[in-house]
A and B are shown apart, each in its own frame.
Chain A
């Protein structure tokens, strides 16, 4: 499994907690508050299981597109807090509430770059042997890239 790097989505400081999570997964949503409250440096990696949760790819793309505008974890938190409203108009409402430029958000969430970024995390999860979400790895050594 790749150690946390500069392209990862990270929040907080301290020992790394790498989480492979599916934004459409009810178990992840139930665990999210507890995971997010843990001390340390939270590293979020995309692991959408599309067959199980057909809306997941769109949600991961939305989070990634929000991340382009510096609102990645805000979108993740929002999607886990309220799982009931996740159609496109709801995503636009969430984006607006987070102060995200909608035109850019719409272009980014459908871009090949964003899809590739999500897929890269998913593949690293597969290589790490992830078979269910949330998959939490604690105490992974941090490699600082300069």
Chain B
């Protein structure tokens, strides 16, 4: 897993609408990367649904949030619609898992990202990371604690 203080590797991925999104687009703002295993899995659905509910509070603390998984943009679109969320979902699809690998969040034997959170500061430096044990979902409280700690 990438370490706090490292420069966050830049990336360009397509979002659920096929638009290209780069890390550098967020320069000057904080960005929370939410790596998750798979669209439509029950656990990922719960996680993203709850994060959607606190998206305004996260934004109020100066951070934007994107989800990243190895699923294709079309799957992301359907997943977004199914959950009723508008958190942008980025497709780490081809080469598969390349961005997750760059952040040390890829699990080779499973073929998808581990559930991980990476908070990147306004200058593109990693400020906080959290890697979850399998099937454990990081509560949104961890995000708020992280945002409070980096603001302190």
Residues of B within 8 A of A49 (CB): 49-50, 53
Q: What would be 10 A-B contacts, judged by CB atoms less than 8 Å apart?
A: A51-B53, A52-B84, A126-B140, A127-B141, A129-B141, A129-B142, A130-B50, A131-B47, A131-B50, A132-B50
CA distance A50 to B85 in the complex (A): 10
Is A80 in the interface zone, CB < 8 Å from B? no
Instruction: Tell me whether A51 and B85 are in contact (CB under 8 A).
Output: yes
Interface size for chain A: under 10, 10 to 19, 20 to 34, or 35 or more residues?
Answer: 10 to 19
13 new A-B pairs (CB below 8 Å) besides A52-B45, A126-B53, A131-B50?
A: A50-B53, A51-B49, A51-B52, A51-B53, A51-B85, A52-B84, A126-B139, A129-B140, A130-B50, A130-B139, A131-B137, A131-B138, A132-B46
How many Cβ-Cβ contacts under 8 Å join chain A to chain B? 44
Whole-angstrom distance from the CB of B148 to the nearest CB of chain A?
Answer: 12
Q: Which residues of B approach A to under 8 Å, CB–CB?
A: 43, 45-47, 49-50, 52-54, 83-85, 137-142, 144
Tell me the A43-58 residues at the B interface (CB within 8 Å): 49-52, 54
Whole-angstrom distance from the CB of A25 to the nearest CB of chain B?
Answer: 10
Instruction: Point out the residue from A51, A126, A132 that lies within 8 Å of B83, measured CB to CB.
Output: A51
CA distance A144 to B120 in the complex (A): 43
Residues of B within 8 A of A50 (CB): 53
Whole-angstrom distance from the CB of B57 to the nearest CB of chain A?
Answer: 8
The chain A residue sitting closest to B43, CB to CB, is A132
CA distance A12 to B52 in the complex (A): 34
CA distance A50 to B54 in the complex (A): 11
Whole-angstrom distance from the CB of B63 to the nearest CB of chain A?
Answer: 15
Instruction: Tell me whether A126 and B141 are in contact (CB under 8 A).
Output: yes
Q: Given A49-B50, A126-B54, A130-B50, does the pair A54, B84 have CB atoms closer than 8 Å?
A: yes
Residues of B within 8 A of A126 (CB): 50, 53-54, 139-141, 144
Instruction: Tell me whether A128 and B49 are in contact (CB under 8 A).
Output: no
Whole-angstrom distance from the CB of A122 to the nearest CB of chain B?
Answer: 7
Residues of A within 8 A of B84 (CB): 51-52, 54
CA distance A116 to B46 in the complex (A): 23
Whole-angstrom distance from the CB of B85 to the nearest CB of chain A?
Answer: 5
CA distance A122 to B49 in the complex (A): 13
Whole-angstrom distance from the CB of A93 to the nearest CB of chain B?
Answer: 27
Tell me the A30-65 residues at the B interface (CB within 8 Å): 49-52, 54
A-B pairs with the 7 shortest C-beta distances?
A129-B139, A132-B46, A131-B137, A51-B84, A51-B52, A52-B49, A49-B49
